[in-house]
């Protein structure tokens, strides 16, 4: 018995790390970008969420796009841009505002990739064009040349603009908008990134990552038979990560061309990948609606993200309900005196009129205040879904799986919000 205990104690540090995740999206996570110490994600649920990974909480939620969010890119000074299947691009300032600082309109089909050189923003769209926008005044140059969808866009180190498309080509765009084909691979390309040394990496239908060095030499990293849909480079360009439809994520050492590891585990397949500024942490956004964090050096999922959020649960709260509540705690505090979060605090929820907390900036729909929150109305909200009950709300689609879980959540809220 003692031996068993000793063994247990010895083995404890080698337990597989609990895969940590940022939970809040109501659909697969389609786009990701590192934003200084924060990470921003965009989903099929139309939501853009800015997260503080240090405590696992959402800082800001916006459901301004009218369709899935297909692309995100960090801009200087904490700003970022999002592109949607609604064909629109939004520029966001740091802060909590729900509305973008500027809207760039013109694309006639989904925007699927964004890149910046600091002064300009480039976008690729399924309308077949690449657009080059001035971040100063929002004017655009429309670049035509691809046959079919433009899928990827990237700036080289000197500010040269490249794009990749369904037509299998990588094009370089001259200042006057003339395209030059710099590579032709004969099969659709889905994603494009530029490394700091000017190497371009593109991946597509056959899952291979093709590297095109500035001097024209080509190399190939094979991920497997399935199409690649996500590609990211570490800030120093030393590591590439690629994810395929239905498969794991491969990590390559760019200099040697050696596949260093494969990420396998929960949350795959992924739709999006991004490296944190430290170059070691890799974010993945997946089919399972979560943003997960990996150590790209060891290929392990990193430890739990938000333990503190569970600490302030009131004594006697329904344990099963507390588990269901985990889907909510990234955005809601239970007490009024907690620091402000992306959603309104829920203290004294029952009996409270919808949209009535002073100082919280609600969407126009919730501000109408035509519902009083009771166990019945809250249960209805998460049975039919906020998008059905209060269309136009900024809360991402959240539904609770079954009647038993719903009853547990309500029991939990009755106690914990008093």
| Binding window for ligand HEC (CB under 6 A); candidates: 1-9, 75-83, 167-175, 337-345 | 337-345
Q: Does 394 bind ligand HEC (CB under 6 A)?
A: yes
Q: Which is nearer to ligand HEC, 220 or 312 (CB)?
A: 312
* CA–CA dist 51, 182 (Å, integer): 38
Find the binder of ligand HEC among 250, 373, 385, 408 (CB under 6 A): 373
Residue 264 or 376: the one with the smaller Cβ distance to ligand HEC is 376
Provide the minimum distance between the beta carbon of 240 and ligand HEC in the complex, in angstroms, as a whole number.
30
- Residue 42 contacts ligand HEC per CB under 6 A: no
x/- track of binding to ligand HEC for residues 192-221 (CB under 6 A): ------------------------------
Residue 334 Cβ vs ligand HEC, minimum distance, rounded to whole Å: 10
Query: How big is the chain, counted in residues?
Result: 418
Whether the bond into 375 is cis, omega within 30 of 0:
no
- Nearest alpha-carbon partner for 285 in 40, 26, 32, 24: 32
CA distances from 370 to 343, 365, 366, 391 (A): 19, 9, 8, 13
The Cα–Cα gap between 197 and 387 comes to 46
Considering only 51, 92, 221, 382, the residue that binds ligand HEC (CB under 6 A) is 382
Q: Contacting ligand HEC (CB under 6 A), which of 191, 195, 334, 342?
A: 342
CA 287, 201, 135, 139 torsion-angle sign: negative
330 binds ligand HEC (CB under 6 A): yes
C-alpha 227/C-alpha 378 separation (Å) is 42
54-93 positions binding ligand HEC, by CB under 6 A:
58, 61
Give 81-88 contacts, CB < 8 A, sequence gap 24+.
81/114, 81/116, 81/121, 82/31, 82/40, 82/42, 82/48, 82/114, 83/111, 83/112, 83/113, 83/114, 83/123, 84/42, 84/46, 84/110, 84/111, 85/110, 85/111, 86/110, 87/111, 87/125, 87/127
Residue sitting closest to ligand HEC (CB): 328
Our finding on whether 223 is near ligand HEC (CB under 6 A) is no
Number of residues that bind ligand HEC (CB under 6 A): 29
Q: How far is the CB of 53 from ligand HEC (least distance, A)?
A: 15
Q: Which of 112, 179, 113, 120 is nearest to 146 (CA)?
A: 179
Q: Is 363 in the site for ligand HEC (CB under 6 A)?
A: yes
The span of 101-109, 210-218, 309-317, 390-398 binding ligand HEC (CB under 6 A) equals 390-398
Which CB atom, from 277 or from 307, has the smaller least distance to ligand HEC? 307
Task: State which residue, 61 or 69, has the beta carbon closest to ligand HEC.
Answer: 61
Does 49 help bind ligand HEC (rule: CB under 6 A)? Answer: yes
Taking the C-alpha atoms of residue 292 and residue 122, their distance in angstroms, rounded to an integer, is: 27
What is the distance between the alpha carbons of residues 86 and 67, in angstroms, rounded to a whole number?
5
Dihedral angle at the C-alpha atoms of 321, 324, 327, 328, nearest 10 degrees? -20
Is 357 a binder of ligand HEC (CB under 6 A)?
yes
Stretch that binds ligand HEC, among 80-88, 288-296, 312-320, 363-371 (CB under 6 A): 363-371
* CB of 211 or CB of 328, closer to ligand HEC: 328
Asked whether the beta carbons of 145 and 171 are under 8 A apart, the reply is yes
Residue tagged 């914990």 (tokens)? 416
Q: Is 333 in the site for ligand HEC (CB under 6 A)?
A: no
Only one of the segments 123-131, 137-145, 231-239, 340-348 lies at the binding site for ligand HEC (rule: CB under 6 A); that segment is 340-348
Q: Examine residue 393 and tell whether it contacts ligand HEC (CB under 6 A).
A: yes
> If binding is defined by CB under 6 A, does position 354 make contact with ligand HEC?
yes
327 contributes a contact to ligand HEC by CB under 6 A: yes
CA distances from 20 to 247, 249, 273, 301, 346 (A): 20, 17, 15, 7, 25
- For 321, the token pair is 């309900």
**At closest approach, how far in Å is the CB of 341 from ligand HEC?**
8
Nearer to ligand HEC (CB atom), residue 32 or residue 261:
32
Site membership for ligand HEC, residue 344 (CB under 6 A):
yes
* Residues forming the site for ligand HEC (CB under 6 A): 24, 49, 58, 61, 327-328, 330-332, 342-344, 349, 354-355, 357, 362-363, 365-366, 373, 378, 382, 393-396, 398, 400
């Amino acid at each position: 018995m003692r031996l068993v205990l000793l063994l247990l104690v010895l083995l404890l540090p080698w337990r597989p790390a609990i895969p940590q995740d940022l939970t809040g999206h109501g659909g697969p996570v389609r786009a990701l970008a590192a934003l200084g110490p924060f990470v921003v994600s965009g989903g099929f649920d139309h939501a853009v969420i800015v997260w503080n990974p240090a405590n696992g909480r959402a800082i800001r939620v916006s459901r301004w796009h009218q369709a899935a969010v297909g692309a995100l890119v960090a801009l200087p000074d904490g700003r970022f841009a999002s592109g949607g299947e609604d064909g629109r691009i939004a520029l966001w300032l740091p802060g909590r505002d729900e509305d973008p600082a500027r809207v760039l309109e013109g694309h006639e089909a989904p925007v699927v990739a964004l890149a910046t050189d600091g002064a300009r923003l480039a976008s690729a769209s399924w309308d077949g064009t690449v657009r080059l926008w001035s971040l100063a005044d929002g004017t655009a140059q429309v670049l035509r040349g691809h046959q079919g969808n433009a899928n990827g866009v990237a700036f080289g180190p000197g500010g040269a603009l490249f794009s990749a498309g369904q037509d299998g080509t990588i094009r370089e765009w001259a200042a006057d908008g003339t395209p030059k084909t710099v590579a032709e691979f004969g099969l659709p390309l889905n994603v494009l990134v530029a490394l700091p040394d000017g190497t371009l990496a593109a991946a597509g239908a056959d899952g291979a990552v093709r590297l095109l060095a500035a001097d024209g030499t080509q190399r190939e990293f094979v991920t497997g038979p399935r199409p690649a849909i996500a590609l990211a480079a570490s800030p120093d360009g030393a590591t590439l990560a690629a994810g395929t439809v239905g498969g794991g994520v491969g990590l390559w050492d760019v200099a040697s061309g050696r596949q260093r590891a494969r990420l396998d585990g929960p949350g795959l397949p992924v739709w999006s990948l991004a490296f944190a500024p430290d170059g070691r942490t890799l974010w993945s956004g997946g089919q399972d609606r979560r943003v997960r964090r990996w150590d790209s050096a060891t290929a392990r999922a990193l430890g739990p993200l938000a333990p503190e959020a569970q600490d302030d649960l009131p004594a006697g709260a329904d344990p099963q309900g507390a588990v269901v509540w985990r889907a909510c705690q990234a955005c809601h505090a239970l007490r009024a005196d907690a620091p402000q979060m992306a959603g309104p605090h829920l203290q004294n929820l029952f009996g409270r009129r919808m949209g009535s907390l002073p100082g919280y900036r609600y969407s126009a729909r919730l501000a109408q205040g035509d519902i009083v929150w009771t166990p019945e109305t809250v249960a209805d909200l998460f049975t039919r879904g906020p998008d059905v009950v209060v269309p136009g709300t900024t809360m991402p689609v959240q539904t609770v799986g079954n009647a038993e879980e719903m009853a547990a959540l309500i029991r939990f809220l009755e106690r914990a919000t008093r």
